[in-house]
Structures are given as structure tokens and as C-alpha cells.
Amino acid sequence: MSKKPLNDGTSYPDLEVGHPKHEAVGLPGIFHSMEPALTHLGPARTAKLLTSINQKDGFDCMSCAWPDPDKRKALEFCENGAKAVTWEATPVTVPTTFWAENSLTSLLDKSEYWLGMQGRLTEPVYKRADSDSYEPISWDEAFALIASRLNALPSPDNAAFYTSGRTANETAFAYQLFVRAFGTNNLPDCSNMCHESTGTALGETIGIGKSTIAYDDFEHTDLIIIMGQNPGTNHPRMLTALEDAKKTGATIVAVNPLPEAGLFRYKNPQTARGLLGHGTALADQYLQIRSGGDMALLQAVAKRVLDAEAAALGTVLDHDFLASYTLGLEELKAHLANLDEADVLTATGLSSAEIDELADRYIRADRTIITWAMGLTQQKKSVETLRDLINLLLLKGNIGRPGAGASPIRGHSNVQGDRTMGVWEQMSDSFLDKLAAEFSFEPPRKHGTDALQTIEAMQRGDISIFFAMGGNFVGAISDTAAAEAAMRGTSLTVQVSTKLNRSHVVTGREALILPTLGRTEVDVQATGAQFVSVEDSVCAVHGSHGRIPPVAPGILSEIAIVSRLARATLGAAGADGAGGADAGEASAGRTGAPGARGGRIDWKGFEDDYDLIREHISHVVPGFENFNADVRRKGGFILPNGPRDSRTFNTATGKAMITVNHLEPIVRPEGRLILQTMRAHDQFNTTIYSLNDRYRGIKAGRDVVFVNPLDIVELGLVDGQRVDVYSEWPGETDRVLPNIRVVSYPTAKGCAAAYYPEANVLIPLASAADRSNTPVSKAILVRLEPVGALVSP
């Protein structure tokens, strides 16, 4: 029976709306970090964990991919990191009686917050095809069941294997190896929904889809432009780097539709100035751009840079760099000569004077860093927007020298590392060739499905088994109703998880939940205590060591789960490449797995000793040649990066590509707003830590839409009124987020904002970024109708 997802159309009765803040952290940040930890973990457990997080011999925070400074403080965490640790390390567990007491039908009405608050998962559970509830199952029975269902498929491509960004390097490598040994490249991952546009744009223009800066570059830059990003909530430790940059004389410009507290002023909780004084003002200029207007802004600034060079030849552009390392400058000049300023002003909602000021700052700066997050990557023209961002950096040679470069800031702690390890549906032939040579089997070469394509394949009946290594796929992806219907049409869903979420409730005909260790927990295998590794946003790789005992006996690590599933599905191949006798029997009747049953893959060895996985990685993945030795060094090691290290650009031409991108401003019809989805402060992706959004003035609720006060008047509404939010799509029935409270908020004129994932219901699967296929969550045309009103056409 279909149920409304997440938001059931009722209000939060205790919702309070206050005033937005204009400063971040300080004493309130300390209180809101420590109070949940001390309450739920106790003093001793809190002290042990929070003094280990992000330390060189501790564990890596799971809440973001912000890099660690070489010289670390005794306490190297932020408020959201503390909450993530509290959430994972809770001693509360889901009791065995829970499954009999709570049917799936009853759980459909529970929110993400309620589900997560039930505690840690401690035993495998199974939902039979004819059942409305889970029941405990043994590990051996669970792996045998999954293996039998996988091996009964007509083709390996009838299964998809999702990966969350919390998955460590070693797990990711073993996982993609299992999937490819099974015979498919269907490896959708969370990057498909966030920074896929970054990888596409940067890969084409500079030859690598990663940051071109190091952590220390923030202290050596003149100008930092922060676009589509809210560091005060999504990666608060970045605020310290911004403060350090300000101390060395850097200027900061923020470009964002909403005013965000962390971009105005930072009160560093580890300094007297931050605790007792006024802190540090960050943004010297704040451009409240209209949602979807970033491409127009970047082109307008680039045109002003070119015009300044034309007015004073040889004084603005880096001609030596452009001549030696780039192609496409003349084409860009010709294209931008025709840029219409009126179109720019309409698209951005800014004035020419504001754009002039930004351009002047960029021209004067010798070294510039541009950082961005999903405000740029989840637009229809995201790839083109980011290509224009690279254009702007290239004009002044701001790639490949200290204090300058492109800096995508990623949200999951190892989403970048997972891609490095091969978790991608489109891995290169060179990677697959190395995999084949290392393990003596032929990986499939046909590209697999990404996140949106996986849902579409489910709708067609082409994917019938869905396996998720972490995450909350149904909760995270767009078009909630379509995604849930597609998932219910599968034959089997499997979730490897630490806590409950929506994806455990919306299942295939059969379903399994496999509990796994958290990153905070000690992982002991046959050869002793193990550790894993992660890669952060600036290509630094370091180890992560659990610090507390597992919350319950019998929970397996992610690597153990992959290893045992592989042995059950493929057969027990050892180091000599001999397959188990049951492998051929298990795969009887299934076709389409080229060489999948052979190979030199010692799955049992992988589980017993993670060094063996790292040894194989060192033979397959560039930059990891001495993995086991390098990762044991304090602080780990930095991966090679052509653009950063030597201005080497691994593009089709061997040069950095300056590109021509055609501006298509979003047309906002009368009576409509451009809505973006966003996270609240007490939230990590779809994980809801509390119902508060402190910096935006929201308490005890999430059913709100933020609207500029001028727009509220123009639409004939009032602050506090309840409305239904409708999104409009050509040729489709309007989608609705029901019964939402209007909050008067100083967002950009003509724009609105609502919380993710609740607002995912407004976005159809077909609304995806050109070429990267990332869901478009930052430029949704909506209308607001008073609750109970006759719906207008």
C-alpha cells in the first residue's frame, strides 16, 4: 500500500520560528556539540571518542571530507562531527523484539528522525516475500540467500550495487572487485547525486575530477570565492581555514542565495577571541545570487577580466601560462564579446556594480581559490557552469601554483576515495586492464547504471536486485514517489547499515538488513586489530582506527560482509586462484558473467588481513604504489595531482581546455519562485540529528519554506501561513509538498528554499543535469497555494 514519504502532510505542533543568526559557533557551538554527546554517551565514552576524532592515530570523522591540517589541535572536530559520532556510537540498540512489534506498514509513517533514534542495528534480519515484517536470520543463511538470488538472475546486469561515501578505501576496492567478478558495472554511488558534475567538468577541462589545491594553500591565497556552499553547517572546520586565511590578508567573497551565518562571522571555539570576543568577520562581499544564476555570474566576471586586459594589454591575463598550458582562449573571447549584460542581471538578480566589485577583486588578486559544493553541482547546467569556473581560473593562471586553484568541497568523508578505488559505473579501460592482470579475470567493459539510471532500470524491470553498502538511497534520490515504487518492484533489496532509515522500510518483495561496524569501533579479525583508510577533499590519504568496542557481539565489518558474500556467491577462491566446488553449482543457469568465476581473489585473506587488500590496491591504483607503508606514516600521504603538482593536464589534447558554454537563463514566470533544497544545521545528508536549524532560527520542526518577504507580499501570502508547494514540469502532473509553513527569510528575491530530503518529492527523475545526470535540486520552479485553496492551473 502506498504511503506518503517522510512528510505526511501534517505539521510539527511545536515548531518555533525565530530570527536567523549572523555568526557561527562560539559558546553555543560548544554546548550543542557536547550536550548530546554527554547525554547519550556519558563522560568517559565522550572523552575517548572526541579526543580521537580526526587525530593521526584516531578515526576519521564520517560527517564530511574536509582535510586535516598537518599540525592538529588536541580537539579537531566540529559540532556536526560530534553529533555524527554521538549518532553512531550510541549504546542504544534495536532489540530483537522490535521486528515483531513493528510491521513495515506501521514504519512507513515514521520519519527519518524517528527511525534513526531507535538505535544501532545488531543482528541480520530478513523480510520474506509474503511478510510485512523483518525477522532475525543467521549470517550464513543471509549470505546463502543473497548468493542464491544473485546466481539465479538471467544476467549480472539485473543487479545493482550502491555505495555510500562513508565506505572506506579497502571496502570500496573489495566491493567493486566483487561486483565486477560477479559480472556487472552497475555501481551507482552517492557521488552520482552530488559532485558528478564536478568530475565531468574538471575531467574534461583539466584532466582530473578533484581539487587542485592543498590544505596549506588557504594560508597563501589573496582571494577565496565561496560558491553554492554553507560551510558553517556542512563542513564547519573549514571556518578555521577561512579565519587563518583572513589573518594572512586574504579577501573572501561569498556567492549564495541564502545568507548563511558561517559566512558572515566565525567565533572560533578554541580561541579567546572566539569565545569571549566578536570573532572574525569572514565575507568581505556577499552576493545573494538568484538560484541557477552562477553560470551567468562567472561569464560576466570573465568578460570583465578580458575587457580589463584589452584596456591595458599584458597587465591582467597570465599570457605565459595561457600560451604554454591551455587551448581555447580566442574562442572564449569571441563568445563572451556577445554576452548580454541584461541577461546576466536577470539571471543573477545582482547589479552591475556588484559584479564589477567581484571582477575588480579577482583582477587585483595574484592568487585565487574558488571553492564550491552542491549549490553549483545540482543545477541543470552544472557541468557548463563549472567549465566556466575553470575558465575564470585559467585566465590568470590560477591552477598549479601555491595559494590558487579549484576546490570542490565534498560532503561524505570518503566519497572521493570510493571513486579512486573503482566505485564508478564508467571506470576506464586502463583501470579494468590492471584489475584483470592483478586477479586473472576479465572484468565487464560495458558501462553500468548510475543512480538515476538504476531507478529507471527498476521501472523497466531490468534491475530486480538492489544491494546497498551504506547510505539511504530511497531517501536521498529525487522523485520520491517514483523511486519508492521502483524499489518496491524489485525482487530483493539488501542494506548494509548501522542504523535504520527510510530505505529499510521501502523494500523489494524480499529484503535483508545486514548490520555493520561503525567507524568509531575497533575491528578485530583473524590477524588482529585492523584499520582502514580514507581520501579527503585535497587528495590526502590517511588511516582510520576504531577506538571503542563494537556496540554488540556478532556485528561484521563491511569488509567481512563483502568477503563472505563473495565467497557465497562466487565460490571460495584462494590465493592460488582455485575456485570452490560450490561456485559452478551456485551459478548454474545464469549467463553473461565473462570470467567471473575464475580469478586469483583470496576473499578469506581479505577478511583476515586488510593489508592484503592494500597490497593489491598498490598494484592497481596509481599513487598507491607503497600503500601499506605510506598509510602508516603519521598523517598519511598525498596522491599525485597533475594540475596541482606540475601543471600536467591529462585531457584529450594534453592542455587545459578553455571552453565555450552557452548561457540559458532560467525564466521565472509571474507568481512562481525558484526553489532550492538544502540541509538543516542538525542534519547530515538524510540523517536528522534533531528537528532544529539553529542558524536559520528554526526549532522543533522541518515543514517550512523560506521565502523573501517581498515575494510573500507579491504572492498575497503572509508569514506563518500554511501552503502547499507545487512544482511544475511540462507534460507532467504538478508535484506537491503539502502543508508547509511560510517563513519570511532574507533569501534572494524570487527564490525559496525547503529542506532535503522532504522536498525531493518535487523533483522528477527526468530533471537531471546535462551530461552528468545529477538530480537538479537547486532550481525548481514552484508556486505556493494556500492550504485548502482551489488549485490554480
Of 24-28, 182-186, 335-339, 639-643, the one with minimum mean pLDDT is 24-28
- At 742, list the grid cell: 511560510
Strands 368-372 and 405-408: parallel
Question: Who contacts 668 (Cβ-Cβ below 8 Å, separation ≥6)?
Answer: 674, 750, 781
Q: What residue type is assigned to position 103 of the chain?
A: S
What is d(CA 28, CA 269) in angstroms, rounded to the nearest whole number? Answer: 9
Average pLDDT of 5-16? 60
User: What would the pLDDT profile of 176-187 be if each residue is shown by its tens digit?
Assistant: 999 999 999 999
Average pLDDT of 299-322? 98
pLDDT score at 70: 76
User: What would the pLDDT profile of 677-695 be if each residue is shown by its tens digit?
Assistant: 999 999 988 999 999 999 9
Residue with cell 564520517: 62
- At 596, list the grid cell: 567471473
Assign 272 a pLDDT band (cuts: 50, 70, 90): confident
Angle, helix 294-311 to helix 341-348, in steps of 10 degrees: 140
* Cβ contact 671:750 at 8 Å: no
Average pLDDT of 55-74? 80
pLDDT score at 577: 41
* Cβ contact 442:436 at 8 Å: yes
DSSP run (H or E) holding 348: helix 341-348
What is d(CA 491, CA 511) in angstroms, rounded to the nearest whole number? Answer: 8
Assign 566 a pLDDT band (cuts: 50, 70, 90): very high
* Cβ contact 638:453 at 8 Å: no
What is d(CA 354, CA 297) in angstroms, rounded to the nearest whole number? Answer: 10
Residue 598 predicted with pLDDT over 60: no
Closest of 251, 272, 233 to residue 24, by C-alpha: 233
pLDDT score at 649: 97
pLDDT score at 286: 98
Q: What residue type is assigned to position 386 of the chain?
A: L
Of 15-24, 253-262, 598-607, the one with minimum mean pLDDT is 598-607
Residue with cell 532475525: 136
User: What would the pLDDT profile of 616-633 be if each residue is shown by its tens digit?
Assistant: 999 999 999 999 999 999
- At 521, list the grid cell: 569501533
Percent of the chain with pLDDT over 90: 81
As to burial, measured by CB atoms within 10 angstroms (0-12 exposed, 13-18 middle, 19+ buried), residue 19 is: exposed
Task: Give the N- to C-terminal CA distance of the chain in Å, as an integer.
Answer: 29
- At 298, list the grid cell: 562567472
SS3 content of the chain, % helix, strand, coil (to 5): 35, 15, 45
pTM: 0.94
Average pLDDT of 29-34? 88
Average pLDDT of the chain?
Answer: 92
624 phi/psi in degrees, rounded to 5: -110, 25
Q: What residue type is assigned to position 359 of the chain?
A: A
What is d(CA 431, CA 422) in angstroms, rounded to the nearest whole number? Answer: 8
C-alpha pair distances (Å), 310 with each of 202, 317, 338, 339, 500: 28, 10, 15, 16, 60
- At 106, list the grid cell: 506501521
Residue 578 predicted with pLDDT over 80: no
Residue 579 predicted with pLDDT over 80: no
User: What would the pLDDT profile of 768-783 be if each residue is shown by its tens digit?
Assistant: 999 999 999 999 999 9
pLDDT score at 67: 81
What is d(CA 460, CA 472) in angstroms, rounded to the nearest whole number? Answer: 22
Closest of 508, 476, 348 to residue 774, by C-alpha: 476
- At 233, list the grid cell: 553547517
Residue 576 predicted with pLDDT over 50: no
User: What would the pLDDT profile of 49-62 be if each residue is shown by its tens digit?
Assistant: 988 888 888 888 88
DSSP bridge pairs for 460: none
Of 153-167, 270-284, 431-445, 506-520, the one with minimum mean pLDDT is 270-284
Residue 361 predicted with pLDDT over 60: yes
- By residue count, the chain amounts to 793
Longest pairwise C-alpha distance within the chain:
77
Assign 7 a pLDDT band (cuts: 50, 70, 90): very low
Residue 214 predicted with pLDDT over 80: yes
* Cβ contact 173:161 at 8 Å: no
